């Protein structure tokens, strides 16, 4: 009986050090939104999951965007070979998220720079992000979904997953009718 009492006494103390997943995800999401609003392209890029980065790059390459084509042309060595192999497979599947970009591409120093060329032109989007207000968060085995009010009377959903050293934005769903 003494062991049970000691266990019950210690249990709340040990649990208080563990951060609830939804609270940690919300904190990471709010920091990501703040970085977005402040124009910190590096922090926004680093706050995206590898899957989101892969899908983003696939979309730019699939639409034959000039900056993305130029970036691909300047990429050399193993990273270029890996990108071309990944892109060929992604085009066959018509999906840049089925398989993430190879690590040689994800960690290539020029990829954040490519992202920033797009990011600096997103003043309107930064203004919209400044109006986001977290409503609710829901956790499940795949991560945390955060419902936010967008300042226009609609709710948007952001999906976050644990990747590497913390929570990363992995998905975004616009309100119905705005997709």
Q: What's residue 125's pLDDT?
A: 81
CA angle 39, 149, 127 (to 5 degrees): 25
Q: What's residue 161's pLDDT?
A: 96
Tell me the C-alpha distance between 116 and 132, whole Å: 22
Per the CB < 8 A criterion, the answer to whether 178 and 168 are in contact is no
Per the CB < 8 A criterion, the answer to whether 39 and 126 are in contact is yes
Q: Give the pLDDT band of residue 5 (cuts 50, 70, 90).
A: very low
pLDDT higher than threshold 50 for residue 14: no
**Residue 113 DSSP code:** H
What average pLDDT does range 36-44 have in this prediction? Answer: 92
Q: 87-138, pLDDT tens digit by residue?
A: 999 999 999 888 999 999 999 999 999 999 888 767 778 888 888 999 999 9
Q: What's residue 13's pLDDT?
A: 38
pTM here is 0.83
Q: What's residue 30's pLDDT?
A: 96
Q: What's residue 89's pLDDT?
A: 95
Q: 46-79, pLDDT tens digit by residue?
A: 999 999 999 999 999 999 999 999 999 999 999 9
What average pLDDT does range 171-178 have in this prediction? Answer: 74
Q: What's residue 9's pLDDT?
A: 34
Per the CB < 8 A criterion, the answer to whether 85 and 75 are in contact is no
Residues in the chain: 179
Host H or E run for residue 134: strand 133-140
Per the listing, tokens 């409503």 go with 135
The closest alpha carbon to 154, from 124, 136, 137, 132, belongs to 132
């Amino acid at each position: 009986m003494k062991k049970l009492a000691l266990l019950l006494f210690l249990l709340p103390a040990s649990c208080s050090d563990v951060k609830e997943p939804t609270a940690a995800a919300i904190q990471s999401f709010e920091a990501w939104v703040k970085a977005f609003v402040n124009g910190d392209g590096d922090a926004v890029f680093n706050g995206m999951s590898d899957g989101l980065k892969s899908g983003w790059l696939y979309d730019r390459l699939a639409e034959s965007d000039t900056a993305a084509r130029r970036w691909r042309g300047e990429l050399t060595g193993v990273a270029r070979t890996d990108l071309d192999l990944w892109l060929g497979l992604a085009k066959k599947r018509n999906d840049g998220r089925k398989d993430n970009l190879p690590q040689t591409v994800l960690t290539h120093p020029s990829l954040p720079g490519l992202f920033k060329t797009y990011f600096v032109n997103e003043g309107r989007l930064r203004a919209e992000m400044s109006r986001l207000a977290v409503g609710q968060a829901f956790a499940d085995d795949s991560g945390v979904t955060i419902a936010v009010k967008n300042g226009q009377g609609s709710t948007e959903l952001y999906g976050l997953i644990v990747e590497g050293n913390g929570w990363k934005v992995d998905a975004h769903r616009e309100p119905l009718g705005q997709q």
